[in-house]
A and B are shown apart, each in its own frame.
Chain A
Amino acid sequence: MSETKRIFYRPPFFDPQEIEKKLTQMAAEGWMLEKLGYYFSTYRKIEPAELRFCVTYFPKASTFDSLPTFEEQQKIDYCAMNGWKLLTRLDSMQIYCTDQPDAVPLETDAVVQVKNMYRSIKKTSISAYFLAPITLMQLGMQYSNFKSDPLNYLSDYASLALLLMWIIIPLILFITLFAEHRWYKKAVRIAAQNGTLTPLNEKKFIYLLSLLCIPLLIYAFNSVSRFSTILLLGIWYPAIIVITYNIKGKLRDIGASRTTNLAVTIISTVVLTCITIVIIIAHVVFTHTPSHGSDHAVSYTINGETYHIYDDPQPVKIKDILALGDTWDYTADHQETFLLSYTEYYQKSIPDSSYSIYYSIASIKIPALTPFIRSKALVERNTSFQESDNSFLPLDESTYGVEEIYQQYYDDLENQIYYIFNGTKIITIRFSDDYTGEQISQVLQALSATTHK
């Protein structure tokens, strides 16, 4: 039978009594703790014994320390004087053991204990204070993306996944910080009144929420590039774990100083992240292909130039309405979520690209959202700083048989950009300069007719 065993155990970091109970039980079964980790603990075979354990905290300790600092050693010595021997350390947590049944407990004042625990908790929360503004900035960026192109944003699951993720992460951070603060107030009050310690329990739903971020992240990355997902989640992320846990641990074991360990860990992480980003960018740049609804292009050579012509289905073809030349390139891109179906169409004549037109057709799937999406589609474009001088002049909707139709103006000059709103449909059209007013009207009527289908 093996003399040591390693078991999966996630210690409730700020519930010392629970950890003490577990270790007492293991000792009674003949297993003495040797090393405690965040997920695994190592035990050594002993004669079953009734031992007492004490979990205490040393807030000034660092995960990068190979040996206890002078101050920490002083505390260890104080405890040894009362018969308590240090078993192991994990970050700011220290675990002591004694076989003396009458040894004075290490913690005899619950208020002091709570205050000391809170100092350790605040240290672990420093990263949350740094992360909180970054996550809020990310959330702001998502809102900005939504504002600049609401129809594209709402019809893209990758964008919605990122939005959800950037809502969840700050939520987790703020709930955690709030819960810690609330725990401290309550624990001090109870400790002063009853002399008992209230543990800080991990919130299970917070843990589950953080796990939810992983599939969201995979989905968002996967929609950009499968290669990026594999590289980030299959290589980069495990490598970061290896660096932060194993290299840090090895450096600790060989006695590297806190500063050296910290520097090596940070530099390795940054270098690895930079290499990964460079590989992803290089992959995107060198393998980028224009996205079209159809992958099948026909190649034509006209006057020595080769053109790839697509024939993606189009609800309205300019060629048919205006009886224009023969060779046309038709492309279409479709994306859809539970909120919105959105297709972008682009048509141009070959080879001179005259009479090019871009239009998008959005169909809102939840009718109750129609007023909101309509207002965002028009007003937000108007107020975004890039298009701050835009204005929208309504046209006669009865001519086109729709609820609303607008032409966009920039600095009081008319643009050949139009917006059609009818029912749950929103159409945006952008004409090239080749069109006459009459031709534009004809195309608008044809596109307006599609909203009735």
Chain B
Amino acid sequence: MDILEMVRTLTNERVRIGSGTLYDLLDQFTGEGLIRNTKVVGRRRSYIITEKGEQMLAREYERLRSQIADYEQIFRKEAQR
């Protein structure tokens, strides 16, 4: 599935990535070993997330979760006062 389309679909059109940004991100992620190229057909490339990429994604997920938890804890307490 096309990444640009997938992002739009998954986020209900909330997130729209520019083609330039997407290309630079893919290049950066490949360079850092977070994703790897699996197939090249014509000029279309397929990527798969690597183990390192999955670990980083998990860490990012945890970071966001803890931020949300902090938010809820602070604002719930304030709402209870």
Contacts and interface: CB of A to CB of B under 8 A. Distances in A.
B42 to A, nearest CB: 9
Interface stretch (A78-86, A330-338, A371-379): A78-86
Q: Which of A77, A78, A116 has the most CB of B within 10 A?
A: A78
A108 B16 contact: yes
Q: Which of B16, B18, B20 has the most CB of A within 10 A?
A: B20
B12 interface: no
Prevailing SS type, chain A contact patch: helix
Given A112-B25, A115-B28, A106 B43 contact: no
Given A73-B43, A74-B43, A74-B45, A79 B20 contact: yes
A115 B24 contact: yes
Contacts of A74: 23, 43, 45
B8 to A, nearest CB: 9
A108 B17 contact: yes
Q: Which of B4, B16, B17, B28 has the most CB of A within 10 A?
A: B17
B22 interface: yes
B37 to A, nearest CB: 11
Contacts of B20: 54, 56, 75, 78-79, 106-107, 113
Contacts of B23: 74-75, 78-79
A105 interface: yes
B43 A105 contact: no
Nearest to B2: A81
A84 B24 contact: no
B21 A109 contact: yes
A112 B26 CA distance: 11
A129 to B, nearest CB: 21
Contacts of B18: 82, 104-109
A79 B24 contact: no
A56 B23 CA distance: 11
Interface residues of B, number: 15
A112 B19 contact: no
Contacts of B17: 104, 108-109
Given A74-B43, A77-B43, A84 B21 contact: no
B45 A106 contact: no
A73 B43 CA distance: 8
A74 B20 CA distance: 11
B16 A112 contact: no
A81 B21 contact: no
Contacts of B4: 78, 81-82, 104
Contacts of A79: 19-20, 23
B24 A116 contact: yes
Nearest to B25: A112
Interface in A34-84: 54, 56, 70, 73-75, 77-79, 81-82, 84
Interface of A: 54, 56, 70, 73-75, 77-79, 81-82, 84, 104-109, 112-113, 115-116
Given A75-B23, A113-B20, 18 more contacts: A54-B20, A56-B20, A70-B43, A77-B43, A78-B20, A78-B22, A79-B20, A79-B23, A81-B2, A106-B21, A108-B16, A108-B17, A108-B21, A109-B21, A112-B21, A112-B24, A112-B25, A112-B28
- 5 closest Cβ contacts across the A-B interface? A106-B20, A108-B18, A78-B19, A79-B19, A75-B23
26 contacts: A56-B20, A70-B43, A74-B43, A74-B45, A75-B19, A75-B20, A75-B23, A78-B4, A78-B19, A78-B20, A78-B23, A81-B2, A81-B4, A82-B18, A82-B19, A84-B19, A104-B4, A107-B21, A108-B18, A108-B21, A109-B17, A109-B21, A112-B21, A112-B24, A113-B20, A115-B28
